Chains A and B, each alone.
Chain A
Amino acid sequence: MTTGVLLFAFNTPGIDYVKIAKWNAMNIQRHLNLPVTLITDSTITDAVFDQVIYAENKHSSGRKFKNIDRVIRWKNSGRYSAYELTPYDQTIVLDVDYVVASNTLLSLVNDPRPFVCTQQAIDVSNTTPNLNLFNKYQMPMAWATVMKFTKSSVAEMIFDVMRMVQHNYSHYALLFGFSSTPYRNDFALSIALSLASGHRLTREYSAPFHLLNVNPGDAVHWVNTDTYEIQYTRTVNNETKPFKLVVKNQDLHVMCKDYLEKIIDSTV
């Protein structure tokens, strides 16, 4: 059975996702020794990827993050196509801003379940309440940042339902009480898991590790290989104070992509 990692990278005017993907592909090969396939609409000449699959992604949406004074554009739709596009029997799909700094993801390779995703996230700065709940009814959230699937009827159904949710996103946004823009893969996956599991909330597909999030408004600096310093602020006794944290050999979901680009520019 072939196993590999799938990354999606569609550049936007503000962020060079392909550059982040290339850097992360090297991290993945170093820690996981797995081939990486990139799905993109950019021309790729590097040999860092096992395969490059060209696809279109015309739909971009803007998202305004707390602590960031501009709208971030992203092209995140079409994630459901991972099932059809992957060249592997067993695939780990990662957001390109998921920084691999350990071999944690190898636990998914040996996981016998046909589909696995992260269902528990931790916020490094501990400033985001209800991180694992979404919509006005406080449904449990699945994070599409890390997904693993095998070619199987279960995985196919989950991605099919995810596609149906994406194509009817405004309906589901209205039904569950969340904003219909921007499109969120996390919300689509959460709803898809429930629908595909007999209309029940389930933790059946939960990854055996937590997702460690770095908020968009935080700062990340490279200390040395696989060691990062995260700077953030917290309100203590009604006073906003700066904090920093150094993490080593810990995978990070770095949502402040500006800093990722700076790290890549300064280290590669």
Chain B
Amino acid sequence: MLCAKIIWRKSLTVQFDRGYIIPAVNTNSTDYVQCARVLAKSIKYWHPTANVCLLTDALVDEPVFDLIKILPFGDQATNTQWKLSNDWQVFWASPYRQTIKLEADMLITNPIDHWWDILDKRDVVISRGCRNFLNQQSTSRQYRKAFDQNQLPDLYNAITYWRLSKTAQTFFSRVRHIFENWQIYRNALTGVDAEFADTDLAYAIAARIVGEELVTLPDSIDFPAIIHMKRYHNNCEAENWLDQLVWEFDRGNIRINTIAQEYPFHYHEKSFAKLVEPYYE
């Protein structure tokens, strides 16, 4: 335990008390840094003084971010376009004592500063379950078959909070171990044959090992939670929701088919970042 305390105290530099970190490494096909930039703008729309950090693999000139950090262990997925393998580095890269990690392809559609009041009391919180564009809990299990088959918690890494703590270090060390030893974990799971780990699955396995109750909030607290725009969550016929649903930008909020989005909006279709960005100017 002493050793663990020394490791993170020595290796981690706290620059700010609280802030948001957005991991984003561009691939050949996707401009994740653009997604992160639009997300940062959406955070600043509601909270102009919020501290937002981009975690990426190369220095970029993006003034919307308060800090830009380079992956402390480098790009762990240089030979693939599967950049999720870098996710575990957020713990070692974060400049904050208390961090909220947000996936890049999201938008903040309402004030979220009240989250801190609840999260503050925990070491680690990972969002659980997701919602559809009606703001209702999604009942689709289409994308969660591996979770159900292996009785893993229904976690979404899209919103993850931690404070510098032993629990957080244990959790992220385990996530790292899962990414770096995926074949071993994959062989232990039923119905999983993916070549690389995906972050939600890695978090769920890590949560099961560390203790789900240590890294989640009780069900009665309905945040942090995301609206997920994947097809089956929303009863869409089209694979791409932009081909079927109508979106509007209304003073920082996104409305889908007239319904105001009350939770962070995980738009999933990366091209949406380019469409919506001008509205934050």
Query: A interface vs B, CB < 8 Å?
Result: 136-139, 175-176, 191, 194-195, 198-201
Contact = CB atoms under 8 A, between A and B. Distances in A.
Contact of A200 (B234, B250, B257, B262): B262
A200 B253 CA distance: 12
A198 B234 contact: no
B246 A200 contact: no
B235 A199 contact: no
A199 B134 contact: no
Contacts of B235: 136-138
Contacts of B259: 194, 199-201
A199 B135 contact: no
7 contacts: A137-B235, A138-B134, A139-B134, A175-B246, A175-B258, A198-B260, A199-B258
* Closest 6 A/B residue pairs (Cβ): A199-B260, A137-B235, A175-B257, A199-B255, A200-B260, A199-B258
Contacts of A139: 134
A7 B134 CA distance: 33
A201 B135 contact: yes
A195 B258 CA distance: 7
B257 to A, nearest CB: 6
Nearest to B261: A199
Contacts of A195: 258
A119 B260 CA distance: 21
B134 A176 contact: no
B135 to A, nearest CB: 7
A137 B258 contact: no
A251 to B, nearest CB: 29
Nearest to B246: A175
Contacts of B234: 137
A15 B133 CA distance: 41
A199 B257 CA distance: 9
B101 to A, nearest CB: 28
- Most central of B133, B134, B250 by chain A CB within 10 Å: B134
- Most central of A137, A176, A194, A201 by chain B CB within 10 Å: A137
Contacts of B260: 198-200
Contacts of A199: 250, 255, 258-260
A137 B257 CA distance: 10
Contact of B257 (A138, A176, A198): A176
Contacts of B135: 200-201
Interface string B245-259: 010001000010111
Nearest to B262: A200
Nearest to A172: B258
A176 B133 CA distance: 12
Nearest to B248: A199
Contacts of A191: 258
Contacts of B134: 137-139, 201
Nearest to B260: A199
Interface in B103-156: 132-136
Contacts of B257: 137, 175-176
A226 B134 CA distance: 40
B109 to A, nearest CB: 12
Nearest to B258: A199
A175 B257 CA distance: 6
A200 B135 CA distance: 9
Given A138-B134, A199-B255, 16 more contacts: A137-B133, A137-B134, A137-B234, A138-B235, A175-B257, A175-B258, A176-B257, A191-B258, A194-B258, A198-B260, A200-B135, A200-B259, A200-B260, A200-B262, A201-B135, A201-B259
A137 B262 CA distance: 17
Nearest to A197: B260
Contacts of A137: 132-134, 234-235, 257
A194 B135 CA distance: 12
A175 B244 CA distance: 9
A246 B66 CA distance: 70
A230 to B, nearest CB: 32
